[in-house]
Structure 1
Protein backbone atom coordinates (compact mmCIF):
# COMPACT_ATOMS: atom_id res chain seq x y z
CA UNK A 1 0.00 0.00 0.00
CA UNK A 2 1.42 3.40 -1.03
CA UNK A 3 2.02 6.11 1.58
CA UNK A 4 -0.23 8.54 -0.30
CA UNK A 5 -3.06 5.99 -0.34
CA UNK A 6 -2.60 5.26 3.35
CA UNK A 7 -2.63 9.00 4.08
CA UNK A 8 -5.90 9.33 2.14
CA UNK A 9 -7.45 6.46 4.14
CA UNK A 10 -6.30 7.95 7.47
CA UNK A 11 -7.64 11.45 6.67
CA UNK A 12 -10.93 9.98 5.49
CA UNK A 13 -11.20 7.96 8.71
CA UNK A 14 -10.52 10.97 10.94
CA UNK A 15 -13.16 13.01 9.10
CA UNK A 16 -15.67 10.21 9.64
CA UNK A 17 -14.86 10.05 13.37
CA UNK A 18 -15.34 13.81 13.63
CA UNK A 19 -18.72 13.63 11.87
CA UNK A 20 -19.91 10.88 14.24
CA UNK A 21 -17.96 12.01 17.30
CA UNK A 22 -20.67 11.21 19.85
CA UNK A 23 -21.07 7.56 18.94
CA UNK A 24 -17.34 7.29 18.21
CA UNK A 25 -16.59 8.44 21.75
CA UNK A 26 -19.19 6.00 23.12
CA UNK A 27 -17.50 3.20 21.18
CA UNK A 28 -14.06 4.21 22.47
CA UNK A 29 -15.42 4.41 26.03
CA UNK A 30 -16.84 0.90 25.73
CA UNK A 31 -13.53 -0.43 24.44
CA UNK A 32 -11.84 1.37 27.36
CA UNK A 33 -14.26 -0.22 29.85
CA UNK A 34 -13.74 -3.65 28.28
CA UNK A 35 -9.95 -3.43 28.44
CA UNK A 36 -10.01 -1.83 31.89
CA UNK A 37 -12.00 -4.75 33.32
CA UNK A 38 -9.69 -7.17 31.52
CA UNK A 39 -6.74 -5.33 33.05
CA UNK A 40 -8.23 -5.45 36.53
CA UNK A 41 -8.71 -9.21 36.35
CA UNK A 42 -5.30 -9.70 34.72
CA UNK A 43 -3.54 -7.75 37.48
CA UNK A 44 -5.59 -9.54 40.14
CA UNK A 45 -4.63 -12.91 38.66
CA UNK A 46 -0.93 -11.90 38.52
CA UNK A 47 -1.01 -10.58 42.08
CA UNK A 48 -2.71 -13.72 43.37
CA UNK A 49 -0.27 -15.91 41.42
CA UNK A 50 2.67 -14.02 42.93
CA UNK A 51 1.23 -14.26 46.43
CA UNK A 52 0.53 -18.00 46.00
CA UNK A 53 4.06 -18.57 44.70
CA UNK A 54 5.51 -16.62 47.60
CA UNK A 55 3.31 -18.40 50.14
CA UNK A 56 4.04 -21.84 48.68
CA UNK A 57 7.79 -21.19 48.82
CA UNK A 58 7.34 -20.34 52.49
CA UNK A 59 4.89 -23.11 53.35
CA UNK A 60 6.17 -24.55 56.55
CA UNK A 61 4.88 -26.15 59.70
CA UNK A 62 5.47 -24.20 62.89
CA UNK A 63 5.34 -26.39 65.95
CA UNK A 64 5.10 -24.12 68.98
CA UNK A 65 6.28 -25.58 72.28
CA UNK A 66 4.93 -25.17 75.79
CA UNK A 67 6.97 -22.95 78.10
CA UNK A 68 7.18 -25.79 80.63
CA UNK A 69 8.24 -28.47 78.11
CA UNK A 70 10.81 -30.98 79.39
CA UNK A 71 14.08 -31.71 77.60
CA UNK A 72 12.91 -35.30 77.03
CA UNK A 73 9.68 -34.17 75.37
CA UNK A 74 11.61 -31.69 73.22
CA UNK A 75 14.03 -34.36 72.00
CA UNK A 76 11.16 -36.78 71.32
CA UNK A 77 9.38 -34.19 69.15
CA UNK A 78 12.59 -33.38 67.25
CA UNK A 79 13.35 -37.06 66.62
CA UNK A 80 9.80 -37.65 65.35
CA UNK A 81 10.01 -34.73 62.93
CA UNK A 82 13.38 -35.78 61.55
CA UNK A 83 12.14 -39.33 60.98
CA UNK A 84 9.44 -38.18 58.53
CA UNK A 85 10.24 -38.63 54.82
CA UNK A 86 8.12 -35.60 53.92
CA UNK A 87 10.38 -33.23 55.86
CA UNK A 88 13.02 -31.31 53.89
CA UNK A 89 14.57 -29.53 56.88
CA UNK A 90 13.90 -28.67 60.49
CA UNK A 91 15.37 -25.97 62.71
CA UNK A 92 14.86 -24.89 66.28
CA UNK A 93 13.85 -21.27 66.86
CA UNK A 94 13.96 -19.86 70.37
CA UNK A 95 12.00 -16.86 71.64
CA UNK A 96 14.79 -14.37 70.94
CA UNK A 97 15.32 -15.58 67.35
CA UNK A 98 11.55 -15.49 66.75
CA UNK A 99 11.37 -11.85 67.87
CA UNK A 100 14.40 -10.91 65.75
CA UNK A 101 12.87 -12.54 62.65
CA UNK A 102 9.55 -10.82 63.28
CA UNK A 103 11.27 -7.43 63.52
CA UNK A 104 13.03 -8.07 60.20
CA UNK A 105 9.76 -9.05 58.55
CA UNK A 106 7.86 -5.92 59.52
CA UNK A 107 10.75 -3.61 58.61
CA UNK A 108 12.07 -0.38 60.09
CA UNK A 109 8.97 1.66 59.27
CA UNK A 110 6.72 -0.52 61.43
CA UNK A 111 8.87 -1.00 64.52
CA UNK A 112 6.35 0.92 66.61
CA UNK A 113 4.01 -2.09 66.33
CA UNK A 114 6.17 -4.23 68.63
CA UNK A 115 7.50 -1.66 71.09
CA UNK A 116 5.01 -2.72 73.76
CA UNK A 117 5.64 -6.48 73.50
CA UNK A 118 9.36 -6.64 72.77
CA UNK A 119 10.42 -6.62 76.45
CA UNK A 120 7.95 -9.31 77.53
CA UNK A 121 8.41 -11.33 74.32
CA UNK A 122 5.30 -13.56 74.23
CA UNK A 123 6.61 -15.58 71.28
CA UNK A 124 7.15 -19.28 72.15
CA UNK A 125 10.06 -21.57 71.27
CA UNK A 126 9.31 -23.55 68.14
CA UNK A 127 10.43 -26.07 65.54
CA UNK A 128 10.24 -24.68 61.98
CA UNK A 129 9.65 -27.54 59.56
CA UNK A 130 10.10 -27.18 55.79
CA UNK A 131 8.30 -29.81 53.72
CA UNK A 132 9.34 -31.22 50.35
CA UNK A 133 5.97 -30.30 48.82
CA UNK A 134 3.05 -28.15 50.10
CA UNK A 135 0.77 -31.16 49.62
CA UNK A 136 2.70 -33.01 52.34
CA UNK A 137 1.90 -30.51 55.11
CA UNK A 138 -1.19 -32.36 56.35
CA UNK A 139 0.69 -35.65 56.75
CA UNK A 140 3.45 -33.96 58.77
CA UNK A 141 0.91 -32.22 61.03
CA UNK A 142 -1.03 -35.47 61.61
CA UNK A 143 2.22 -37.28 62.53
CA UNK A 144 3.14 -34.93 65.39
CA UNK A 145 -0.30 -33.83 66.51
CA UNK A 146 -1.07 -34.79 70.09
CA UNK A 147 2.54 -35.19 71.21
CA UNK A 148 3.26 -33.93 74.75
CA UNK A 149 4.92 -30.53 75.01
CA UNK A 150 3.31 -29.08 71.89
CA UNK A 151 1.36 -25.87 72.48
CA UNK A 152 0.08 -25.28 68.94
CA UNK A 153 0.75 -26.26 65.31
CA UNK A 154 0.45 -23.77 62.48
CA UNK A 155 0.62 -24.61 58.79
CA UNK A 156 0.08 -22.42 55.73
CA UNK A 157 -1.42 -24.90 53.27
CA UNK A 158 -4.99 -23.81 54.01
CA UNK A 159 -4.11 -20.25 53.04
CA UNK A 160 -2.70 -21.44 49.70
CA UNK A 161 -5.81 -23.54 48.99
CA UNK A 162 -8.06 -20.59 49.81
CA UNK A 163 -6.09 -18.25 47.53
CA UNK A 164 -6.21 -20.78 44.67
CA UNK A 165 -9.99 -21.12 45.07
CA UNK A 166 -10.40 -17.32 45.01
CA UNK A 167 -8.21 -17.14 41.89
CA UNK A 168 -10.38 -19.63 40.01
CA UNK A 169 -13.53 -17.66 40.90
CA UNK A 170 -11.95 -14.39 39.78
CA UNK A 171 -10.86 -15.94 36.47
CA UNK A 172 -14.38 -17.20 35.69
CA UNK A 173 -16.01 -13.88 36.56
CA UNK A 174 -13.39 -12.07 34.48
CA UNK A 175 -13.94 -14.31 31.45
CA UNK A 176 -17.72 -13.83 31.55
CA UNK A 177 -17.54 -10.03 31.94
CA UNK A 178 -14.84 -9.72 29.30
CA UNK A 179 -16.87 -11.79 26.81
CA UNK A 180 -19.97 -9.62 27.40
CA UNK A 181 -18.04 -6.37 27.04
CA UNK A 182 -16.23 -7.57 23.91
CA UNK A 183 -19.65 -8.15 22.37
CA UNK A 184 -20.84 -4.68 23.42
CA UNK A 185 -17.66 -3.10 22.01
CA UNK A 186 -18.04 -4.85 18.66
CA UNK A 187 -21.71 -3.83 18.54
CA UNK A 188 -20.99 -0.14 19.20
CA UNK A 189 -18.02 0.08 16.85
CA UNK A 190 -20.04 -1.76 14.25
CA UNK A 191 -22.89 0.77 14.61
CA UNK A 192 -20.44 3.65 14.32
CA UNK A 193 -19.09 2.25 11.07
CA UNK A 194 -22.60 1.44 9.82
CA UNK A 195 -23.67 5.06 10.25
CA UNK A 196 -20.69 6.19 8.19
CA UNK A 197 -21.22 3.54 5.55
CA UNK A 198 -24.96 4.28 5.32
CA UNK A 199 -24.34 8.01 4.81
CA UNK A 200 -21.87 7.17 2.04
CA UNK A 201 -23.70 4.24 0.47
CA UNK A 202 -24.17 6.05 -2.84
CA UNK A 203 -20.48 6.94 -2.94
CA UNK A 204 -19.59 3.30 -2.25
CA UNK A 205 -21.92 2.20 -5.06
CA UNK A 206 -20.24 4.60 -7.51
CA UNK A 207 -16.77 3.46 -6.41
CA UNK A 208 -17.75 -0.16 -7.02
CA UNK A 209 -19.27 0.77 -10.36
CA UNK A 210 -16.05 2.37 -11.59
CA UNK A 211 -14.02 -0.66 -10.50
CA UNK A 212 -12.79 0.07 -6.96
CA UNK A 213 -11.89 -3.12 -5.11
CA UNK A 214 -13.67 -4.16 -1.92
CA UNK A 215 -10.50 -3.70 0.10
CA UNK A 216 -9.96 -0.15 -1.24
CA UNK A 217 -13.45 0.67 0.06
CA UNK A 218 -12.96 -1.24 3.31
CA UNK A 219 -9.67 0.30 4.46
CA UNK A 220 -10.92 3.76 5.55
CA UNK A 221 -13.59 2.10 7.71
CA UNK A 222 -11.17 -0.45 9.13
CA UNK A 223 -8.70 2.31 9.99
CA UNK A 224 -11.54 4.25 11.60
CA UNK A 225 -12.34 1.23 13.79
CA UNK A 226 -8.65 0.83 14.63
CA UNK A 227 -8.37 4.50 15.67
CA UNK A 228 -11.42 4.14 17.92
CA UNK A 229 -9.95 0.93 19.38
CA UNK A 230 -6.54 2.51 20.05
CA UNK A 231 -8.14 5.60 21.61
CA UNK A 232 -10.22 3.33 23.86
CA UNK A 233 -7.09 1.33 24.75
CA UNK A 234 -5.24 4.52 25.78
CA UNK A 235 -8.13 5.63 28.01
CA UNK A 236 -8.40 2.15 29.56
CA UNK A 237 -4.64 1.96 30.18
CA UNK A 238 -4.44 5.41 31.80
CA UNK A 239 -7.40 4.72 34.11
CA UNK A 240 -6.03 1.27 34.99
CA UNK A 241 -2.55 2.64 35.77
CA UNK A 242 -3.69 5.40 38.11
CA UNK A 243 -6.38 3.22 39.70
CA UNK A 244 -3.99 0.34 40.33
CA UNK A 245 -1.32 2.73 41.61
CA UNK A 246 -3.72 3.86 44.37
CA UNK A 247 -4.62 0.26 45.28
CA UNK A 248 -0.95 -0.82 45.21
CA UNK A 249 0.08 2.01 47.56
CA UNK A 250 -2.71 1.29 50.05
CA UNK A 251 -2.21 -2.50 50.06
CA UNK A 252 1.60 -2.21 50.34
CA UNK A 253 1.20 0.14 53.30
CA UNK A 254 -1.50 -1.86 55.09
CA UNK A 255 -0.14 -5.34 54.29
CA UNK A 256 3.62 -4.83 54.19
CA UNK A 257 4.40 -8.57 54.01
CA UNK A 258 2.58 -8.97 50.68
CA UNK A 259 4.44 -8.13 47.47
CA UNK A 260 2.25 -7.19 44.51
CA UNK A 261 2.99 -6.58 40.84
CA UNK A 262 4.35 -3.03 40.53
CA UNK A 263 2.21 -0.38 38.74
CA UNK A 264 4.89 0.15 36.08
CA UNK A 265 3.91 -3.29 34.71
CA UNK A 266 0.78 -1.60 33.33
CA UNK A 267 2.91 0.81 31.27
CA UNK A 268 5.65 -1.61 30.24
CA UNK A 269 3.55 -4.67 29.32
CA UNK A 270 -0.22 -4.22 29.54
CA UNK A 271 -0.18 -0.94 27.56
CA UNK A 272 1.00 -2.50 24.28
CA UNK A 273 -1.26 -5.51 24.84
CA UNK A 274 -4.18 -3.11 25.22
CA UNK A 275 -3.12 -1.33 22.03
CA UNK A 276 -3.10 -4.57 20.04
CA UNK A 277 -6.44 -5.66 21.49
CA UNK A 278 -7.94 -2.25 20.74
CA UNK A 279 -6.79 -2.47 17.11
CA UNK A 280 -8.15 -6.02 16.86
CA UNK A 281 -11.54 -5.14 18.37
CA UNK A 282 -11.86 -2.04 16.17
CA UNK A 283 -10.90 -3.78 12.94
CA UNK A 284 -13.16 -6.79 13.56
CA UNK A 285 -16.11 -4.51 14.37
CA UNK A 286 -15.50 -2.55 11.16
CA UNK A 287 -15.10 -5.60 8.92
CA UNK A 288 -18.30 -7.20 10.26
CA UNK A 289 -20.35 -4.02 9.84
CA UNK A 290 -19.28 -3.13 6.29
CA UNK A 291 -19.53 -6.62 4.83
CA UNK A 292 -23.16 -6.47 3.69
CA UNK A 293 -22.79 -2.97 2.22
CA UNK A 294 -20.21 -4.21 -0.27
CA UNK A 295 -22.74 -6.53 -1.90
CA UNK A 296 -23.84 -3.76 -4.28
Structure 2
Protein backbone atom coordinates (compact mmCIF):
# COMPACT_ATOMS: atom_id res chain seq x y z
CA UNK A 1 0.00 0.00 0.00
CA UNK A 2 1.42 3.40 -1.04
CA UNK A 3 1.91 6.38 1.24
CA UNK A 4 -0.83 8.24 -0.62
CA UNK A 5 -3.27 5.40 0.05
CA UNK A 6 -2.31 5.33 3.73
CA UNK A 7 -2.75 9.10 3.95
CA UNK A 8 -6.17 8.80 2.31
CA UNK A 9 -7.25 6.12 4.80
CA UNK A 10 -6.15 8.22 7.77
CA UNK A 11 -7.89 11.34 6.44
CA UNK A 12 -11.10 9.43 5.81
CA UNK A 13 -10.95 7.92 9.29
CA UNK A 14 -10.55 11.34 10.88
CA UNK A 15 -13.33 12.82 8.78
CA UNK A 16 -15.70 10.01 9.71
CA UNK A 17 -14.96 10.44 13.42
CA UNK A 18 -15.52 14.21 13.36
CA UNK A 19 -18.61 14.00 11.17
CA UNK A 20 -20.29 11.63 13.65
CA UNK A 21 -18.71 13.17 16.73
CA UNK A 22 -21.58 12.51 19.13
CA UNK A 23 -21.93 8.84 18.24
CA UNK A 24 -18.14 8.47 18.29
CA UNK A 25 -18.07 10.06 21.74
CA UNK A 26 -20.79 7.69 22.94
CA UNK A 27 -18.83 4.73 21.58
CA UNK A 28 -15.58 5.91 23.19
CA UNK A 29 -17.39 6.41 26.52
CA UNK A 30 -18.90 2.94 26.40
CA UNK A 31 -15.57 1.34 25.49
CA UNK A 32 -13.87 3.29 28.29
CA UNK A 33 -16.39 2.08 30.88
CA UNK A 34 -16.13 -1.53 29.71
CA UNK A 35 -12.33 -1.46 29.70
CA UNK A 36 -12.25 0.31 33.07
CA UNK A 37 -14.26 -2.55 34.57
CA UNK A 38 -11.85 -5.00 32.94
CA UNK A 39 -8.91 -3.04 34.37
CA UNK A 40 -10.41 -3.13 37.88
CA UNK A 41 -10.73 -6.92 37.67
CA UNK A 42 -7.12 -7.17 36.45
CA UNK A 43 -5.85 -4.96 39.30
CA UNK A 44 -7.79 -6.86 41.99
CA UNK A 45 -6.79 -10.26 40.56
CA UNK A 46 -3.15 -9.19 40.32
CA UNK A 47 -3.15 -8.19 43.99
CA UNK A 48 -4.88 -11.39 45.11
CA UNK A 49 -2.34 -13.45 43.14
CA UNK A 50 0.49 -11.33 44.57
CA UNK A 51 -0.61 -11.94 48.16
CA UNK A 52 -1.23 -15.64 47.44
CA UNK A 53 2.28 -16.08 46.05
CA UNK A 54 3.78 -14.28 49.03
CA UNK A 55 1.86 -16.50 51.43
CA UNK A 56 2.83 -19.62 49.50
CA UNK A 57 6.50 -18.66 49.81
CA UNK A 58 6.10 -17.81 53.49
CA UNK A 59 3.83 -20.68 54.52
CA UNK A 60 5.49 -22.57 57.28
CA UNK A 61 4.41 -25.48 59.36
CA UNK A 62 5.03 -25.10 63.05
CA UNK A 63 5.47 -28.37 64.91
CA UNK A 64 5.29 -28.34 68.72
CA UNK A 65 7.04 -31.07 70.70
CA UNK A 66 5.50 -32.55 73.84
CA UNK A 67 6.97 -31.48 77.19
CA UNK A 68 9.59 -33.66 78.90
CA UNK A 69 10.87 -35.06 75.59
CA UNK A 70 14.66 -35.38 75.57
CA UNK A 71 16.85 -33.29 73.27
CA UNK A 72 18.13 -36.51 71.66
CA UNK A 73 14.58 -37.48 70.65
CA UNK A 74 13.95 -33.98 69.27
CA UNK A 75 17.17 -34.05 67.22
CA UNK A 76 16.37 -37.53 65.93
CA UNK A 77 13.01 -36.30 64.59
CA UNK A 78 14.73 -33.16 63.23
CA UNK A 79 17.23 -35.22 61.21
CA UNK A 80 14.51 -37.58 60.01
CA UNK A 81 12.24 -34.76 58.80
CA UNK A 82 15.13 -32.92 57.16
CA UNK A 83 15.69 -35.95 54.91
CA UNK A 84 12.08 -36.06 53.69
CA UNK A 85 11.82 -35.21 49.96
CA UNK A 86 9.00 -32.68 50.55
CA UNK A 87 10.96 -30.60 53.09
CA UNK A 88 12.83 -27.58 51.75
CA UNK A 89 14.01 -26.27 55.11
CA UNK A 90 13.55 -27.04 58.80
CA UNK A 91 14.50 -24.84 61.76
CA UNK A 92 14.64 -25.98 65.36
CA UNK A 93 13.66 -23.66 68.23
CA UNK A 94 13.50 -24.03 71.99
CA UNK A 95 10.67 -22.77 74.15
CA UNK A 96 12.99 -20.02 75.43
CA UNK A 97 13.63 -18.86 71.87
CA UNK A 98 9.88 -18.90 71.27
CA UNK A 99 9.40 -16.69 74.33
CA UNK A 100 12.12 -14.29 73.14
CA UNK A 101 10.46 -14.05 69.73
CA UNK A 102 7.12 -13.21 71.35
CA UNK A 103 8.79 -10.53 73.43
CA UNK A 104 10.34 -8.89 70.36
CA UNK A 105 7.08 -9.06 68.38
CA UNK A 106 4.85 -7.77 71.22
CA UNK A 107 6.99 -5.50 73.41
CA UNK A 108 3.93 -3.91 75.07
CA UNK A 109 2.72 -7.16 76.68
CA UNK A 110 4.93 -6.96 79.78
CA UNK A 111 2.42 -8.74 82.04
CA UNK A 112 2.39 -11.72 79.74
CA UNK A 113 6.18 -11.90 79.67
CA UNK A 114 6.38 -11.87 83.45
CA UNK A 115 4.14 -14.95 83.53
CA UNK A 116 6.23 -16.64 80.84
CA UNK A 117 9.48 -15.92 82.70
CA UNK A 118 8.13 -17.53 85.88
CA UNK A 119 6.79 -20.64 84.19
CA UNK A 120 7.30 -20.88 80.45
CA UNK A 121 4.24 -22.72 79.02
CA UNK A 122 5.59 -22.72 75.45
CA UNK A 123 7.01 -25.71 73.58
CA UNK A 124 10.17 -26.66 71.75
CA UNK A 125 9.50 -27.28 68.09
CA UNK A 126 10.33 -26.96 64.41
CA UNK A 127 9.47 -24.51 61.65
CA UNK A 128 9.15 -26.57 58.48
CA UNK A 129 9.04 -25.15 54.92
CA UNK A 130 7.92 -27.47 52.14
CA UNK A 131 8.98 -27.24 48.50
CA UNK A 132 5.39 -26.58 47.39
CA UNK A 133 2.25 -25.59 49.37
CA UNK A 134 0.48 -28.78 48.25
CA UNK A 135 3.02 -30.84 50.18
CA UNK A 136 2.14 -29.20 53.51
CA UNK A 137 -0.80 -31.52 54.39
CA UNK A 138 1.34 -34.57 53.59
CA UNK A 139 4.16 -33.48 55.90
CA UNK A 140 1.70 -32.30 58.56
CA UNK A 141 -0.06 -35.65 58.59
CA UNK A 142 3.24 -37.50 58.85
CA UNK A 143 4.46 -35.24 61.65
CA UNK A 144 1.26 -35.45 63.68
CA UNK A 145 1.57 -39.25 63.82
CA UNK A 146 4.92 -39.09 65.60
CA UNK A 147 4.52 -39.92 69.31
CA UNK A 148 6.64 -36.98 70.54
CA UNK A 149 4.65 -34.35 68.57
CA UNK A 150 2.13 -32.32 70.58
CA UNK A 151 0.53 -30.29 67.75
CA UNK A 152 1.02 -29.19 64.12
CA UNK A 153 -0.12 -25.75 62.92
CA UNK A 154 0.00 -24.31 59.39
CA UNK A 155 -1.76 -21.69 57.23
CA UNK A 156 -2.74 -23.86 54.29
CA UNK A 157 -6.40 -22.87 54.68
CA UNK A 158 -5.60 -19.19 54.05
CA UNK A 159 -3.72 -19.99 50.85
CA UNK A 160 -6.51 -22.25 49.58
CA UNK A 161 -9.14 -19.58 50.23
CA UNK A 162 -7.11 -16.90 48.46
CA UNK A 163 -6.53 -19.21 45.50
CA UNK A 164 -10.27 -19.93 45.34
CA UNK A 165 -11.00 -16.18 45.52
CA UNK A 166 -8.59 -15.54 42.66
CA UNK A 167 -10.34 -18.15 40.50
CA UNK A 168 -13.77 -16.71 41.30
CA UNK A 169 -12.59 -13.21 40.38
CA UNK A 170 -11.08 -14.45 37.15
CA UNK A 171 -14.18 -16.26 35.92
CA UNK A 172 -16.68 -13.67 37.11
CA UNK A 173 -14.53 -11.01 35.45
CA UNK A 174 -14.66 -12.83 32.12
CA UNK A 175 -18.45 -13.19 32.33
CA UNK A 176 -18.98 -9.49 33.13
CA UNK A 177 -16.56 -8.45 30.41
CA UNK A 178 -18.27 -10.66 27.83
CA UNK A 179 -21.59 -8.93 28.54
CA UNK A 180 -19.99 -5.48 28.43
CA UNK A 181 -18.15 -6.35 25.22
CA UNK A 182 -21.41 -7.31 23.52
CA UNK A 183 -23.07 -4.04 24.58
CA UNK A 184 -20.02 -2.05 23.48
CA UNK A 185 -19.87 -3.78 20.11
CA UNK A 186 -23.54 -2.98 19.44
CA UNK A 187 -22.90 0.73 20.03
CA UNK A 188 -19.78 0.75 17.83
CA UNK A 189 -21.67 -1.15 15.11
CA UNK A 190 -24.36 1.54 15.12
CA UNK A 191 -21.70 4.26 15.01
CA UNK A 192 -20.04 2.68 11.97
CA UNK A 193 -23.42 2.11 10.32
CA UNK A 194 -24.24 5.81 10.63
CA UNK A 195 -20.87 6.70 9.15
CA UNK A 196 -21.38 4.27 6.27
CA UNK A 197 -24.93 5.54 5.68
CA UNK A 198 -23.73 9.16 5.59
CA UNK A 199 -21.19 8.27 2.89
CA UNK A 200 -23.31 5.77 0.95
CA UNK A 201 -23.27 7.78 -2.30
CA UNK A 202 -19.52 8.31 -2.10
CA UNK A 203 -19.04 4.58 -1.51
CA UNK A 204 -21.21 3.75 -4.53
CA UNK A 205 -19.11 6.05 -6.72
CA UNK A 206 -15.90 4.47 -5.41
CA UNK A 207 -17.21 1.01 -6.28
CA UNK A 208 -18.22 2.16 -9.76
CA UNK A 209 -14.71 3.46 -10.49
CA UNK A 210 -13.14 0.16 -9.39
CA UNK A 211 -12.26 0.63 -5.72
CA UNK A 212 -11.95 -2.70 -3.96
CA UNK A 213 -14.19 -3.60 -1.05
CA UNK A 214 -11.24 -3.59 1.34
CA UNK A 215 -10.13 -0.12 0.20
CA UNK A 216 -13.64 1.09 1.07
CA UNK A 217 -13.77 -0.85 4.33
CA UNK A 218 -10.44 0.20 5.80
CA UNK A 219 -11.40 3.76 6.91
CA UNK A 220 -14.36 2.37 8.85
CA UNK A 221 -12.29 -0.46 10.32
CA UNK A 222 -9.68 2.10 11.39
CA UNK A 223 -12.49 4.15 12.92
CA UNK A 224 -13.53 1.19 15.08
CA UNK A 225 -9.92 0.46 16.02
CA UNK A 226 -9.38 4.13 16.91
CA UNK A 227 -12.46 4.17 19.13
CA UNK A 228 -11.23 1.05 20.92
CA UNK A 229 -7.70 2.43 21.31
CA UNK A 230 -8.90 5.78 22.68
CA UNK A 231 -11.13 3.96 25.18
CA UNK A 232 -8.15 1.84 26.28
CA UNK A 233 -5.89 4.87 26.74
CA UNK A 234 -8.50 6.77 28.76
CA UNK A 235 -9.30 3.78 30.99
CA UNK A 236 -5.57 3.14 31.56
CA UNK A 237 -5.02 6.77 32.55
CA UNK A 238 -7.88 6.63 35.04
CA UNK A 239 -6.96 3.25 36.53
CA UNK A 240 -3.26 4.16 36.62
CA UNK A 241 -3.88 7.36 38.57
CA UNK A 242 -6.38 5.61 40.84
CA UNK A 243 -4.09 2.69 41.61
CA UNK A 244 -1.16 5.00 42.35
CA UNK A 245 -3.40 6.80 44.88
CA UNK A 246 -4.49 3.46 46.40
CA UNK A 247 -0.84 2.40 46.83
CA UNK A 248 -0.01 5.65 48.63
CA UNK A 249 -3.04 5.36 50.90
CA UNK A 250 -2.31 1.72 51.66
CA UNK A 251 1.28 2.57 52.60
CA UNK A 252 -0.02 4.73 55.47
CA UNK A 253 -3.36 3.12 56.36
CA UNK A 254 -2.53 -0.55 55.70
CA UNK A 255 1.26 -0.84 55.93
CA UNK A 256 1.02 -4.58 56.61
CA UNK A 257 -0.83 -5.28 53.33
CA UNK A 258 1.60 -6.13 50.50
CA UNK A 259 0.32 -4.29 47.42
CA UNK A 260 1.46 -5.42 43.98
CA UNK A 261 3.82 -2.95 42.31
CA UNK A 262 2.39 -0.18 40.11
CA UNK A 263 4.53 -1.01 37.06
CA UNK A 264 3.79 -4.73 37.35
CA UNK A 265 0.03 -4.19 37.56
CA UNK A 266 -0.14 -1.51 34.87
CA UNK A 267 1.83 -3.66 32.43
CA UNK A 268 -0.85 -6.36 32.74
CA UNK A 269 -3.69 -3.83 32.70
CA UNK A 270 -2.42 -2.02 29.60
CA UNK A 271 -1.97 -5.31 27.75
CA UNK A 272 -5.54 -6.42 28.48
CA UNK A 273 -7.22 -3.06 27.84
CA UNK A 274 -5.40 -2.25 24.59
CA UNK A 275 -5.95 -5.76 23.25
CA UNK A 276 -9.59 -5.68 24.37
CA UNK A 277 -10.21 -2.25 22.86
CA UNK A 278 -8.67 -3.16 19.51
CA UNK A 279 -10.48 -6.51 19.32
CA UNK A 280 -13.90 -5.09 20.22
CA UNK A 281 -13.49 -2.04 17.98
CA UNK A 282 -12.12 -4.06 15.07
CA UNK A 283 -14.78 -6.77 15.23
CA UNK A 284 -17.62 -4.27 15.57
CA UNK A 285 -16.47 -2.26 12.55
CA UNK A 286 -15.97 -5.42 10.48
CA UNK A 287 -19.50 -6.60 11.28
CA UNK A 288 -21.03 -3.23 10.40
CA UNK A 289 -19.14 -2.70 7.14
CA UNK A 290 -19.51 -6.26 5.85
CA UNK A 291 -23.27 -6.09 6.37
CA UNK A 292 -23.49 -2.78 4.53
CA UNK A 293 -21.41 -3.87 1.55
CA UNK A 294 -23.61 -6.93 1.04
CA UNK A 295 -26.61 -4.73 0.27
Q: TM-score by structure 2 length?
A: 0.81
Which secondary structure does the structure 2 equivalent of 1:83 belong to? helix
1:187 alignment partner in structure 2: 186
Task: Indicate yes or no: 2:46 matched with 1:43.
Answer: no
The count of corresponding residues between Structure 1 and Structure 2 is 281
Return 38-47 or 215-224, whichever deviates more.
38-47
The gaps in structure 1 that reach 5 residues or longer are 104-113
Give the one of 80, 105, 115 matched to 1:83: 80
Q: After TM superposition, list the pairs within 5 Å mapping 1:107-146 onto structure 2.
A: 114-117=106-109, 120-121=112-113, 124=122, 126-145=125-144
1:4 alignment partner in structure 2: 4
Give the one of 68, 71, 76 matched to 1:70: 68
Task: Indicate yes or no: 2:228 matched with 1:236.
Answer: no
2:101 alignment partner in structure 1: 98
Cα contact 1:194–1:290 (8 A) shared by 2: yes
Cα contact 1:229–1:278 (8 A) shared by 2: yes
CA RMSD of aligned residues (A): 3.0
1:214 alignment partner in structure 2: 213
Q: After TM superposition, list the pairs within 5 Å mapping 1:136-285 onto structure 2.
A: 136-145=135-144, 150=150, 153-268=152-267, 270-271=269-270, 273-285=272-284
String of CA shifts for 1:209-238, please: whole Å, max 9, x gaps: 222211121121112112211110111101
Task: Flag as ranges the 4+ runs of structure 1 deviating above 6 A.
Answer: none
CA separation in 2, counterparts of 1:77 and 1:238? 58
The gaps in structure 2 that reach 5 residues or longer are none
Cα contact 2:143–2:149 (8 A) shared by 1: no
Cα contact 1:241–1:266 (8 A) shared by 2: no
1:33 alignment partner in structure 2: 33
Q: TM-score by structure 1 length?
A: 0.81
